[in-house]
Amino acid sequence: MEKNPWRDQFPQLTGKDDAFLDSAASSLKPLSVIAAVDHYYHDLSVNIHRGMYASSYEATRLYEEARAKVAAFIHAEEEEIVFLRGATAALNLVASSYGAAMLGPGDEIVVSELEHHSSFLPWQAVAAKTGARLVFVPLDPDYRITVENVRKVITTKTKVVALTYVSNVMGYVTPMRDVIALAHAVGAVVVADAAQAVQHLPIDVKSLDVDFLAFSGHKMLGPTGIGVLYGKAALLAAMEPVEFGGEMIDEVNKDRSSWKDAPFKFEAGTMPIASAIGLGAAVDLLDSIGLSAIEDHVVRIRRYAYTQLKKVEGIVIYNPTADTGVIAFNIEGVHPHDAATFFAEQHVSLRAGHHCAQLLIKALGIEACLRASFYLYNTYADCDRLVAVAKEAVRFFKGVGF
């Protein structure tokens, strides 16, 4: 079996032969990201954009350099990159600022049952406030979003299309380019939840012509506490901030105040400086390895694991045709939390539950499921262990009578 060329860069894996198969929840962090965060705390550790001394200038430079790296990574302009706490904060900002201002009774927001709660709940809340209506794209028999089905629900009433780019449970890639064309034909904006996309697919926001795109640093080798909202410059310029405080103002008066231009008007208060700098280092690493090399690897090992796992009697797999590195499955008759505990005891880290996608779990007609997710540091040995422990689990739970 081939040696994984990237695994050594992840200290969490050093000296362990545990199979970490939960990267869709959060990826492991490479040495270069840890070093960038450490450099900030060790050598700088000061605030940005305000200190008139060398360490503050340097911290500001690194923070803004991280913004430039993220912008280049998705082919955006720097002023179109808003740093926020994560994809959740980014999606909430679009809904509560753009959505609340633009939507009213009679308007429609297109969503799907594949959405992560972070991509669905902000729109549910805005619909309740504004009188706009949520419209669901019917999923196909594999529970995918298809262009044909999106076409069925987009009408002249559609003002927002808020869809996941890659499903966190099924690993399906939404045909986003075609969805965007359909939405734009009726003057609607598209909000793409790219929390599971940016770490797998090259994204060019300009050529895609997407209006808003949200993602989190911690799923793409970066630190926690930092995420990104990309918005087209004209849309961000027209949006009001939803958080107010230090550093986002132009001028404050007793009667009314004014804000800086985007992205700064959306970055109120002290930002997660170290995390942003760490995200810049994560982008460097993804760029130097190349997303296509990463995705070739992920798809290859996912296929290998899937091919073995589907042969195990008693295992039911919900996404045989996944496009990227996720297997959603259950052991027949066994609660996934019990199963995940069994896997954990055998040093296989999986996720169990509804994966913040209860609408999908309900559509699948189950209570919950297990999810194995793969990333660049996973190996064929991890897959073999997953399959071996799955076989043991089936035997064990049969023994205790299910």
Ligand X SMILES: Cc1ncc(COP(=O)(O)O)c(C=O)c1O
- Note the residues at the interface with ligand X (CB under 6 A): 86-88, 116, 118-119, 164, 168, 193, 195-196, 216, 227, 356
Three-state secondary structure call for residue 166 = strand
CB of 302 to ligand X, least distance (A): 17
CB of 63 to ligand X, least distance (A): 20
**For 252, phi and psi rounded to 5 degrees?**
-115, 130
CB of 72 to ligand X, least distance (A): 22
**97/216 with CB nearer ligand X:** 216
Whether omega for the bond prior to residue 263 falls within 30 degrees of 0, making it cis, is: yes
**44/352 with CB nearer ligand X:** 352
How many other C-beta atoms lie within 10 A of the C-beta of residue 256? 7
CB of 272 to ligand X, least distance (A): 13
Q: Which residues contact 306 (CB under 8 A, 6 or more apart)?
A: 317, 320, 322, 327
- Relative to beta strand 133-137, strand 108-112 is parallel
CB of 233 to ligand X, least distance (A): 24
**109/356 with CB nearer ligand X:** 356
**227/231 with CB nearer ligand X:** 227
Question: Hey, what are 143's tokens?
Answer: 């529970």
CB of 250 to ligand X, least distance (A): 29
Alpha helix (H) residue ranges in 159-290: 176-185, 205-208, 233-238, 273-289
Task: Count CA atoms closer than 13 A to 115's CA, side-chain side.
Answer: 26
CB of 335 to ligand X, least distance (A): 22
Catalytic residue, chosen from 356, 387, 389, 394, is: 356
Whether the CB-CB separation of 338 and 369 falls below 8 Å is answered with no
DSSP 10: -
Q: Which residues pair with 370 in a beta bridge?
A: 329, 352
- Give the E-state strand segments of 113-254 in sequence order: 133-137, 158-164, 189-193, 212-216, 227-231, 249-251
Q: Which residues pair with 19 in a beta bridge?
A: 348
Burial 4-27 (b: 16+ CB within 10 A, else e): bebeebbeebeeeeebbbbbbbeb
Question: Hey, what are 226's tokens?
Answer: 């930092």
DSSP 283-325: HHHHHHH-HHHHHHHHHHHHHHHHHHHTTSTTEEES-TT-SSS
**For 236, phi and psi rounded to 5 degrees?**
-65, -40
**108/193 with CB nearer ligand X:** 193
Task: Say how many Å lie between the first and final Cα of the chain, rounded.
Answer: 36
DSSP 239: P
CB of 298 to ligand X, least distance (A): 15
- Relative to beta strand 227-231, strand 189-193 is unpaired
**4/88 with CB nearer ligand X:** 88
DSSP 261: P
**191/291 with CB nearer ligand X:** 191
**26/149 with CB nearer ligand X:** 26
DSSP 22: B
Specify whether 369 is catalytic.
no
Please list the active-site residues. 356
